[in-house]
Amino acid sequence: MLPSPAPRRGRTAALLLATALSVSACGGGGTTGEAAAGGAAGEFTLWDPYPQFDETSEWTKLVEECGTQAGVTLERQGFDTSDLTNKALLAAQQGGAPNILVVDNPVVSTLADAGVLTTAEEFGGDTSAIAENLLAAGEVDGDAYGVPIGANTLALYYNEAVLDAAGVDPASVTDWASLTAALEKVKAAGKKGITFSAIGTEEGSFQFLPWFWGAGADLQELDSPEGLAALSLWKDWLDKGYAPNSVLNNTQTTSWQEFETGEYAFAENGTWQLGNVKESGIDWGVMPIPARDGGPAPAPTGGEFVSVPVQEDTSTYEAAGKIVDCLTSGENSLTTTTTLSYVAPTEEVQAKQVEADPDLEVWVEAVQAAKGRTSDNLGTKYPRISEPMWGAFQKALSGAADPAAALAEAQDAAAAATS
């Protein structure tokens, strides 16, 4: 299961991260009619996780235009993210995979491992300008299985009024020690400290990872001293009342709703809340999540890859590659990432985004420091590590086990599941 961002009142968030559900039947895909090789006539299909966009949307118009430029008629179908992975797997088994598949980045390794996707080299996708940390989320054994369309990640929103009342300068929060000191002052001033999601799902793991990685921990060693430091930080915040017990059941949506009460100094949440916070009436700001000893912590990346499923007729890859490049490069990348509320995957377009909206500067910084959950060549091992990890912080925060014992048990389970 992968984290779901909160819905937006002002603009619809694109990132609806996938969860593995039962396989359901789907319609056919792939090329029909005359094969499309480098501009020959043909009908292509594109599947994406954006059912909120209809045929009048900027996204659909861009998809159709990219098909036209590649010399094909491109039909787009949007599916709920929770269904898309299984639909793609089933379609590939039945020989009806779409020509283009837009899929959540942690799912790329699953589909690649199942033999569903071609590499960027095979379909001619240009990854030369893509940020390496974003591209790594779709790499398996050094091969990129698609091109990232953009990314979002996590940072700390803060309430300026709450911090002012507590005598805290946001600029003073640079590491764990200064953040904890700020939370102590906020509580002493009669306000609430920090809210986040520690629910026992991938959504909770998504929110734990900046602290885990920010301590220097490695996902293949959950019970390391660094991993213990991260879990002990969260546990200490709950024990001292700096974070509410509700974090155990909070999704990113309910955590955000707590922040919108105006009572909390900080909220760990994502790029997708930028529209909401601007409408909230809160005197707000955003800062990167600090690493243990300072600097921005690596937060996990959300966002999709544009990929090309394996086709019986390999001559279709040339046109498919042109479509991928059209959707992910140049001015079209600016249109796409703006429409989907993402930070662009290239420095050139990121600069244009910040020029158009200076509020994105912190998010660009956070994305540049971010890391894919399946990076470090974890691939399909990641979900089998994440589940024991969220079990560990659930046990520790609830008091069912101390942090060290919870992480030791989680490491044993993860090692057994990935060996």
What is the domain partition of the chain in residue ranges? Answer: 43-152+303-368, 154-299+378-418
Which percentage of the chain shows pLDDT scores above 70? 90
Mean pLDDT of 265-269: 98
What is the rounded CA–CA span in Å between residue 132 and residue 62?
Answer: 26
Residue 81 pLDDT class (50, 70, 90 cuts): confident
Residue 31 pLDDT class (50, 70, 90 cuts): very low
Name the residue with higher pLDDT: 417 or 336. Answer: 417
Lowest-confidence segment of 14-23, 69-78, 186-195, 208-217 by average pLDDT: 14-23
What DSSP designation does 299 have? P
Query: Which helix (H) or strand (E) element contains residue 205?
Result: helix 202-214
> Domain 43-152+303-368, CATH 3.40.190.10 — does that match?
yes
Mean pLDDT of 267-280: 94
For the cut 50, the answer to whether the pLDDT of residue 139 exceeds it is yes
Q: Residue 339 has what pLDDT?
A: 84
Q: Is 327 helix (H, G, I), strand (E, B) or coil?
A: helix
Identical fold, 43-152+303-368 and 154-299+378-418: yes
Q: How far is CA 377 from CA 61, 70, 106, 382, 417, in A?
A: 36, 33, 12, 9, 16
Which percentage of the chain shows pLDDT scores above 90? 85
Residue 6 pLDDT class (50, 70, 90 cuts): very low
Q: Residue 76 has what pLDDT?
A: 97
- DSSP per residue, 352-417: HHHHH-GGGHHHHHHHHT-B-TTTTTTGGGHHHHHHHHHHHHHHHHHTSS-HHHHHHHHHHHHHHH
Q: Residue 16 has what pLDDT?
A: 28
For the cut 80, the answer to whether the pLDDT of residue 388 exceeds it is yes
What is the rounded CA–CA span in Å between residue 293 and residue 214?
Answer: 8
- Partnered with residue 102 across adjacent β-strands are 306
Residue 310 pLDDT class (50, 70, 90 cuts): very high
Cβ-count burial of 50 within 10 angstroms (0-12 exposed, 13-18 middle, 19+ buried)?
buried
Residue 83 pLDDT class (50, 70, 90 cuts): confident
Mean pLDDT of 309-318: 96
Mean pLDDT of 25-50: 57
Query: Which residue type, as a one-letter code, is found at position 70?
Result: A
92-122 tens-digit pLDDT:
999 999 999 999 999 999 999 999 999 999 9
Query: Which helix (H) or strand (E) element contains residue 165?
Result: helix 160-166
Q: For the beta carbon of residue 22, count every other beta carbon within 10 angstroms.
A: 6
> Domain 154-299+378-418, CATH 3.40.190.10 — does that match?
yes
For the cut 90, the answer to whether the pLDDT of residue 164 exceeds it is yes
Q: Is 289 helix (H, G, I), strand (E, B) or coil?
A: coil
